Amino acid sequence: MKFSWRVVALWSVLALVIGFFFWQGAFTNAPADTSKNAASTRMTYGRFLEYLDADRVTNVDLYDGGRTAIIEANDQDIENRVQRWRVDLPINSPELINKLKEHKVIFDAHPIRNDGAIWGLLGNLVFPVLLITGLFFLFRRSNNLPGGPGQAMNFGKSRARFQMEAKTGVKFDDVAGIEEAKEELQEVVTFLKQPERFTAVGARIPKGVLLVGSPGTGKTLLAKAIAGEAGVPFFSISGSEFVEMFVGVGASRVRDLFKKAKDNAPCIIFIDEIDAVGRQRGAGIGGGNDEREQTLNQLLTEMDGFEGNTGIIIIAATNRPDVLDSALLRPGRFDRQVTVDAPDIKGRLEILEVHSRNKKLDPSVSLDAIARRTPGFTGADLANLLNEAAILTARRRKDTITLLEIDDAVDRVVAGMEGTPLLDSKSKRLIAYHEIGHALVGTLLKDHDPVQKVTLIPRGQAQGLTWFTPNEEQGLISRSQLKARITGALGGRAAEEVIFGAAEVTTGAGGDLQQLSGMARQMVTRFGMSDLGPLSLESQQGEVFLGRDWTTRSEYSESIASRIDAQVRSIAEECYENAKKIIRENRSVTDRLVDLLIEKETIDGEEFRQIVAEYTVFPDQQQFVPHL
């Protein structure tokens, strides 16, 4: 077992403290003369005077400067045998000596021994010396460690992790699904390794590359791959590590970082989450954060100032490029902005192949099928998906990961942990009609995504779920597709009203209504898909940026606002009536699907479509005719 030197030092100091107090207590409580211990019986001072008046006291020894006496007296209770008692004398008793002389008592005064005082003095001198020596070695050792107590004067030093040859264990071959970003960054690595290929035609090395993308898309992984491939000194730091509560510390750390980088040029500096220090200046209430702005100013100067920084490449990552200062984004500082998007189906397949290298997959598992089922998943999501499947496999004591574990892992990642199935009751039947309503309306609409699964097994906060999976990647969405999605979202509410009546409509459609209201409003105000015409009436700024959009500015008049509300309501009502019509005209297949769902608790998409095809001909132009 390994022990930390800090723990050993602290325990040593603690042992010294405890030992010192025990030592002091031992000498403080030590008797001045061991002969006093011969008298184990105590006698009060009043009784001592009675014995003295009765001439029964024969001998008295005084100790502790006259505060304690050991007397020898005849005890009448035991045949006048001589006994020894210990008596505590009062401080002021000058008449005692005279009385002893009157009764001709032999007495003697013993001087106070100074052994305890001498040892106490030695203890008071030795202990501070030992304590100071221990603390000296403790702080001396701490001075050599980053972040130790001895580093109090090093606030202005850079905290960047430095590696002469970065050994991240990640190469470009380990990064999949973002080929365009890899190509851009491979040029940077090639420039560092073979600069003559570019300088021969007059090209200069880029000063900065900004990686922009949603969380989990692989920005930090790309930086690790660059560090592993470049073979040059590599500095890595987070944007939040520049700024401290002390004014000027951030700017000092920036200067120290670039000074170290210039001494090791050519090299790479990676700044993760640069939006923590690179936010737009003057964007805070009350003037903003002066310390952060000073740090940003120093960073701008170091990246492209009067002196320059030849041979240093800055790579930064952020998922909030909209809040960065414009001076930071200009060419000369960040010459390139590389967008790291969520992977398409081909990219997801490549990512799954990378993360499945060390997984024992069953031969029946198709990575292509998993890639098709996971649109919108990032690289981090896919890695987590396979890890969850492996955990489920180990929990179920299986040797290989099967498709069942993959499906359960997808459901767990998307919707949450699996809950306890509901008992067969009115509530379970109502939830079944709600979910079948979603699935049936989505299946019978021409422009809706196909249903992938319908289940009554609770997950997360949902008591039942319906999954829809698009057949292909959708970059652009048409007006008919948006209306189909709104109609499908209203399918559950429509089924409740058609089957049980308006009085039995539940709160289960709360999330659906919130989702479709947002889509309908965007159709009117952003996409120009209403009678108001092709106008963008609201900005796409989703969040308030302090100092710039703090006050909400209306971009249209009150009359236009009322017309927007009317158009949103019209779209929702039209889609709702269409959903109820579909449920009414397909009541028989709805009832059969509900009975099957209650029995099996889960129906996959293929089985669902086969049952619907037995009752309904899939028509075009949203015409729904029951199959008689």
Predicted confidence (pLDDT) per residue in 553-571, tens digit: 567 788 888 999 999 999 9
Looking at the predicted structure, is the pLDDT value of residue 62 above 50? Answer: yes
Burial class, 79, CB count within 10 angstroms (exposed 0-12 / middle 13-18 / buried 19+): exposed
Give the strand order in the sheet containing 602-604: 465-468, 451-455, 602-604
- Residues sharing a CB contact under 8 Å with residue 60, sequence separation 6 or more, in sequence order: 69, 70, 71, 72, 100, 105, 106, 107, 108
- Residues sharing a CB contact under 8 Å with residue 359, sequence separation 6 or more, in sequence order: 386, 389, 390, 401
Judging by DSSP bridges, how do beta strands 68-75 and 81-88 pair with one another? antiparallel
- 196 vs 246, higher pLDDT: 196
Q: What pLDDT does residue 551 have?
A: 45
| Alpha-carbon span 303 to 293, nearest angstrom | 15
Q: What pLDDT does residue 76 have?
A: 66
Q: Which of 464, 465, 462, 433 is nearest to 452 (CA)?
A: 465
| Average confidence (pLDDT) over 118-146 | 64
Q: What pLDDT does residue 157 have?
A: 60
For residues 572 and 517, is the Cβ–Cβ distance under 8 A?
Answer: yes
Looking at the predicted structure, is the pLDDT value of residue 351 above 70? Answer: yes
Q: What pLDDT does residue 224 have?
A: 83
Angle between helices 345-355 and 379-395 (to 10 degrees): 50
Chain-centre distance for alpha carbon 78: 83
623: pLDDT confidence band, cut at 50, 70 and 90? very low
- 449 vs 243, higher pLDDT: 449
Predicted confidence (pLDDT) per residue in 167-194, tens digit: 667 778 778 878 888 888 888 888 877 8
CATH 3.40.50.80 fits 345-415, yes or no: no
Looking at the predicted structure, is the pLDDT value of residue 334 above 50? Answer: yes
| Average confidence (pLDDT) over 394-421 | 84
| Alpha-carbon span 16 to 134, nearest angstrom | 10
Please tell me the pTM assigned to this model.
Answer: 0.66
Q: Phi and psi (nearest 5°) for 113? A: -80, 140
434: pLDDT confidence band, cut at 50, 70 and 90? very high
Looking at the predicted structure, is the pLDDT value of residue 158 above 80? Answer: no
Which ranges of 249-289 does DSSP label H, i.e. alpha helix? 249-263
550: pLDDT confidence band, cut at 50, 70 and 90? very low
Q: 426-537+555-615, superfamily in CATH? A: Peptidase M41 (1.20.58.760)
627: pLDDT confidence band, cut at 50, 70 and 90? very low
Q: What pLDDT does residue 138 have?
A: 65
In sequence order, the β-bridge partners of residue 62 are 69, 109
For residues 455 and 412, is the Cβ–Cβ distance under 8 A?
Answer: no
Looking at the predicted structure, is the pLDDT value of residue 611 above 80? Answer: yes
| Alpha-carbon span 220 to 271, nearest angstrom | 10
Looking at the predicted structure, is the pLDDT value of residue 18 above 80? Answer: no
Residue with tokens 């021969």: 200
| Alpha-carbon span 357 to 578, nearest angstrom | 48
| Alpha-carbon span 431 to 458, nearest angstrom | 11
* DSSP state at residue 616: B
Hey, how many other C-beta atoms are within 10 angstroms of the C-beta on 184? 18
**Cα dihedral 353/358/364/370 (nearest 10):** -40
Judging by DSSP bridges, how do beta strands 465-468 and 602-604 pair with one another? unpaired
Q: Which of 617, 592, 615, 588 is nearest to 603 (CA)?
A: 592
| Average confidence (pLDDT) over 252-267 | 84
Between CA 550 and CA 559, with CA 556 as vertex, the angle to 5 degrees is 130
CATH of domain 34-112: 3.30.720.210
- Of 52-56, 257-261, 441-445, which gets the smallest average pLDDT? 52-56
Q: How many helices (H) and strands (E) does the chain have?
A: 21, 14
Residue with tokens 């570019």: 198
Q: Which of 174, 475, 227 is nearest to 341 (CA)?
A: 475
Judging by DSSP bridges, how do beta strands 106-109 and 57-63 pair with one another? parallel
CATH of domain 161-340: 3.40.50.300
Looking at the predicted structure, is the pLDDT value of residue 88 above 70? Answer: yes
Predicted confidence (pLDDT) per residue in 463-489, tens digit: 888 888 876 666 788 899 999 999 999
User: How far apart, in Å, are the Cα atoms of 52 and each of 41, 186, 403?
Assistant: 17, 109, 105
Q: Can you give the three-state secondary structure of 244-256, one letter per residue?
A: CCCCCHHHHHHHH
Q: What pLDDT does residue 617 have?
A: 56
Between CA 617 and CA 576, with CA 599 as vertex, the angle to 5 degrees is 45
| Average confidence (pLDDT) over 327-348 | 86
Residues present in the chain in total: 628
Maximum Cα–Cα distance across the chain: 139
Ramachandran area for residue 422 (φ above 0: left; ψ -120 to 50: alpha; else beta): beta
| Alpha-carbon span 49 to 374, nearest angstrom | 103
Average pLDDT, the chain: 78
Residue with tokens 């709104």: 486
Q: Which of 424, 430, 442, 446 is nearest to 583 (CA)?
A: 442
**Which two tokens mark 285?**
């209430």
Q: Phi and psi (nearest 5°) for 197? A: -60, -30
Q: Which of 273, 302, 350, 435 is catalytic?
A: 435
Looking at the predicted structure, is the pLDDT value of residue 79 above 60? Answer: yes
| Alpha-carbon span 15 to 194, nearest angstrom | 62
Looking at the predicted structure, is the pLDDT value of residue 249 above 60? Answer: yes
For residues 501 and 548, is the Cβ–Cβ distance under 8 A?
Answer: no
Q: What pLDDT does residue 160 have?
A: 63
For residues 212 and 339, is the Cβ–Cβ distance under 8 A?
Answer: yes
Q: Is 543 a catalytic residue?
A: no
**Which two tokens mark 620?**
């075009």
For residues 235 and 341, is the Cβ–Cβ distance under 8 A?
Answer: no
For residues 314 and 302, is the Cβ–Cβ distance under 8 A?
Answer: no
- Of 24-28, 110-114, 313-317, 471-475, which gets the smallest average pLDDT? 24-28
Q: What pLDDT does residue 541 have?
A: 52
